[in-house]
């Protein structure tokens, strides 16, 4: 079956740029716009959920995604209400990304009084709690247990907004297939590593009795469109140094060549098409510099990919 490519974009962190960027992305035909729930304090960043509420008011068609909320950082009952509110404000356009986060975040969160033990259990039960609150059902878990409670407002999407899990380890990938509506791959993951993870997901679906039609796969991609590969690399290398220079998980040195797609439009289209052909449903494109100009360049890829898919 030929998949229809779905391109989305990552929202900028600049408050002045946010609204015109989102409106232009909608005009250019992108499928959605995504924010992030970063815990890093090294770079300026806006809260992803508040950004989605803001964007719900200034867009009409774009799906609104967050990738990913970290389990345990927010009480799942509070989170259920926040997410349902965004789904109401956007008239049913929300996609929810969830994950356990990175180990290095937990010390600072614990210092602030946030429970960080049993992150996997908090992820699994957090999803169960939100779904129960959205439907008015009961929940009986190790961490949470209640009956007859329904969160208000209910989400527009029923039984709730689709939940996708960010994961890399095999056990986490299989967990996503088992309990979520989809899996989303991180942008700092190299394509070959992502394809190995995707193979785990694809094997797990028949093993766990999961219909592939009910499970979506997305990946965030750092993208740069320029006349030549050399020009794109010259822009990307310092951008990655600024963004990941102090990151304890991802090595910023040589990162552009490891994880990004960059170069002339035709080259970028072929590389993106490879990911769609491998089984990806949605690609979320993140510009690392000159965000407005790059958004325009990305927009040209929407029609290019559509043309390729029709051949």
Rounded CA-CA distance 264/301 in Å is 11
Tokens 């010390």 belong to which residue?
A: 107
Rounded CA-CA distance 297/264 in Å is 10
What is the token pair recorded at 247?
Answer: 């990151």
Q: Strands 145-146 and 139-140: what pairing?
A: antiparallel
Q: Facing residues of 292 across strands? A: none
pLDDT tens track for 289-311: 999 999 999 999 988 887 655 55
Cβ of 117: how many Cβ atoms within 10 Å?
10
DSSP state of 32: E
User: How far is C-alpha 87 from the geometric centre of its chain's CA atoms?
Assistant: 16
Q: Which of 288, 287, 283, 285 is nearest to 244 (CA)?
A: 288
Rg (CA), the chain: 19
pLDDT of residue 159: 94
Rounded CA-CA distance 220/18 in Å is 19
Rounded CA-CA distance 128/301 in Å is 38
pLDDT tens track for 16-26: 999 999 999 99
Whether residue 216 is predicted with pLDDT greater than 90 in this model: the reply is yes
pLDDT tens track for 125-173: 999 999 999 998 899 999 999 998 989 999 999 999 999 999 999 999 9
Percent over 90 (pLDDT), the chain? 77
Query: Which pLDDT band holds residue 1 (cuts at 50, 70, 90)?
Result: very low
DSSP state of 155: P
Whether residue 248 is predicted with pLDDT greater than 70 in this model: the reply is no
To the nearest 10°, report the CA torsion of 32, 281, 65, 36: -110
Rounded CA-CA distance 80/67 in Å is 16
Rounded CA-CA distance 141/211 in Å is 26
Whether residue 181 is predicted with pLDDT greater than 70 in this model: the reply is yes
> How many helices (H) and strands (E) in the chain?
11, 11
Percent over 70 (pLDDT), the chain? 94
pLDDT tens track for 70-115: 887 889 999 999 999 999 999 999 999 999 977 767 777 778 787 8
| Inter-helix orientation angle 170-179/119-135, to 10° | 10
Rounded CA-CA distance 1/142 in Å is 42
Q: Are 116 and 72 in contact (CB under 8 A)?
A: yes
| Inter-helix orientation angle 170-179/191-207, to 10° | 50
């Amino acid at each position: 079956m030929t998949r229809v490519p779905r391109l989305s974009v990552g929202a900028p962190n600049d408050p002045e740029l946010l609204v015109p960027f989102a409106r232009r992305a909608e005009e250019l035909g992108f499928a959605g716009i995504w924010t992030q729930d970063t815990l890093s304090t090294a770079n300026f960043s806006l809260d992803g959920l508040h950004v989605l509420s803001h964007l719900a008011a200034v867009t009409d068609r774009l799906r609104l995604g967050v990738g990913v909320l970290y389990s345990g950082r927010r009480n799942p009952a509070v989170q259920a209400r926040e997410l349902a509110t965004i789904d109401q404000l956007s008239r049913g356009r929300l996609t929810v990304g969830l994950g356990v986060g990175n180990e290095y975040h937990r010390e600072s969160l614990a210092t602030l009084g946030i429970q960080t033990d049993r992150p996997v259990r908090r992820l699994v039960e957090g999803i169960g709690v939100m779904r129960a609150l959205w439907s008015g059902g009961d929940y009986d878990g190790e961490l949470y247990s209640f009956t007859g409670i329904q969160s208000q407002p209910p989400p527009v999407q029923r039984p709730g907004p689709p939940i996708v899990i960010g994961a890399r380890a095999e056990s986490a990938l299989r967990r996503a297939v088992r309990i979520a509506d989809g899996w989303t791959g991180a942008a700092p993951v190299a394509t070959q590593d992502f394809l190995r993870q995707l193979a785990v997901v694809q094997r797990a679906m028949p093993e766990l009795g999961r219909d592939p039609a009910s499970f979506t796969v997305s990946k965030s991609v750092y993208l740069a469109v320029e006349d030549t590969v050399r020009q794109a690399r010259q822009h990307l290398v310092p951008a990655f140094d600024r963004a990941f220079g102090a990151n304890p998980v991802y090595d910023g040195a040589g990162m552009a060549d490891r994880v990004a797609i960059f170069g002339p439009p035709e080259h970028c289209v072929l590389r993106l098409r490879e990911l769609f052909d491998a089984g990806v449903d949605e690609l979320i494109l993140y510009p690392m510099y000159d965000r407005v100009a790059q958004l325009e360049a990305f927009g040209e890829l929407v029609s290019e990919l559509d043309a390729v898919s029709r051949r």
